[in-house]
Amino acid sequence: MSTGKTRRAPSPSMCRRRLLLAGSALAAGAVMLGGCGVVAENATTTMPTSANAGETGGGAAMTISPPAEAASASTLMPVYWLGLNETTVSLYREFLHSDHTGDPVGEAVRAMTAGKPLDQDYFTPWHPADSVTASISSKNVITVDISSDAFKGSLDSGMAHRAVQQLVYTATAAAANAKLTAVGQESTVVILVDGKAGYRAFGHVPLDEPLRRDTKLAAPIWIIDPQESQVRGSDVEISGTAVAQPSQLYWRAEPVVDGRPSSAAVAAGTVDLPAAVGETGRFSFSATLAPGDYSIRVFYGGHESAGDSKRITVISDPGSPEG
């Protein structure tokens, strides 16, 4: 986005960064995001102005099976965040370090409210919860009891729905990752607030019945590996999932200069996605990069702002530990 007198419309990447700032600024006072339409003057986090707050987004939904929620290492746990996806806000998953508190669902939900995404394009509208506990029935009903201080943020109805779904996705993913729910049986989430049912989340979403995942909210493209800020050798393997579309899936490796990705890609190509249109498929490709900092982006032709990206550091010694 230009800060001069031309007053150009903010780019999707700039809107993402403003979203990040908005979450921490809500308690401090009014926030304006210019043309992004994400935070209103009354410090209410809102959906982009180009999206209908009552809609959950169009296009085919990403199918996420319980085995896909499993972390690559037992020290990690799945946590969902929100991120700007072209004209809407979608859900993205990261794997964070777990302290193995004995309550994997409660730990993941607490991290969702109090932690920070690794990816600077993601954000959370939640405030740190003083208390989160969870239990699971034999019928895959996950009960999360969360303290009311987590709901301090002021959200519009569209963002409130996504925030609640962020919790639902995180709780069900954490339970699946810990193998606490039965595979092949849908999980539901009951949310109690300070031990009581019937709370109205962020003033919009009634928590009076078990909730299921809204499958329209998962972002259409995820880069799963590497995660943000990881270190790799010069031969970088990139993998993830995407919903197949009629247009071609592409990737770009852009050097990060002065903290920003350069528009001049040092490597680029197409991505093979073995899936029919509308179905979810896994992709993988490799890139050989010189030492330095890069932004790796995967996107559909003509819709780069709807893709996913990760910033990584490439070193000459592939045996060095990851960041």
Task: Check whether 151 has a pLDDT greater than 90.
Answer: yes
Which residues have CB under 8 Å from 76's CB, separation 6+? 95, 96, 97, 98
**CB contact burial 282-312 (16+ within 10 A = b; e otherwise):** ebebebebeeeebbbbbbbeeebebbbbbbb
β-strands 221-225, 205-206 pairing: unpaired
Confidence band (pLDDT; 50, 70, 90) for 10?
Answer: very low
Q: Which residue has the tokens 């964070």?
A: 96
* Every domain of the chain and the residues it spans: 58-206, 221-314
Confidence band (pLDDT; 50, 70, 90) for 140?
Answer: very high
Angle between helices 157-177 and 104-114 (to 10 degrees): 140
Q: Is there a contact between 139 and 181 (Cβ–Cβ < 8 Å)?
A: no
Mean pLDDT computed over 122-142 = 96
Task: Check whether 266 has a pLDDT greater than 70.
Answer: yes
Name the pTM for this structure: 0.81
Confidence band (pLDDT; 50, 70, 90) for 132?
Answer: very high
The residue that leads in pLDDT, 157 or 62, is 157
Task: Check whether 55 has a pLDDT greater than 60.
Answer: no
The whole-chain average pLDDT of the chain stands at 82
Task: Check whether 211 has a pLDDT greater than 80.
Answer: yes
pLDDT value of position 82? 96
Pick the CATH number of 221-314 from 2.60.40.10, 1.10.1740.10, 2.40.340.10, 2.40.10.10: 2.60.40.10
Q: Is there a contact between 86 and 148 (Cβ–Cβ < 8 Å)?
A: no
Q: Is the peptide bond before 321 cis (omega within 30 degrees of 0)?
A: no
The residue that leads in pLDDT, 69 or 274, is 274
Q: Is there a contact between 308 and 92 (Cβ–Cβ < 8 Å)?
A: yes
Query: CA–CA distance from 296 to each of 51, 104, 230, 252 (Å)?
Result: 27, 31, 12, 6
Mean pLDDT computed over 271-290 = 92
Mean pLDDT highest for which of 96-100, 140-144, 225-229, 297-301? 140-144
Backbone angles phi, psi at 203, to 5 degrees: 75, 5
pLDDT value of position 39? 39
H/E/C letters for each residue in 291-315?
CEEEEEEEEECCEEEEEEEEEEEEC
Task: Check whether 287 has a pLDDT greater than 80.
Answer: yes
Mean pLDDT computed over 5-17 = 41
Q: Is there a contact between 78 and 71 (Cβ–Cβ < 8 Å)?
A: yes
Distance CA 221, CA 215 (A): 14
Confidence band (pLDDT; 50, 70, 90) for 67?
Answer: low
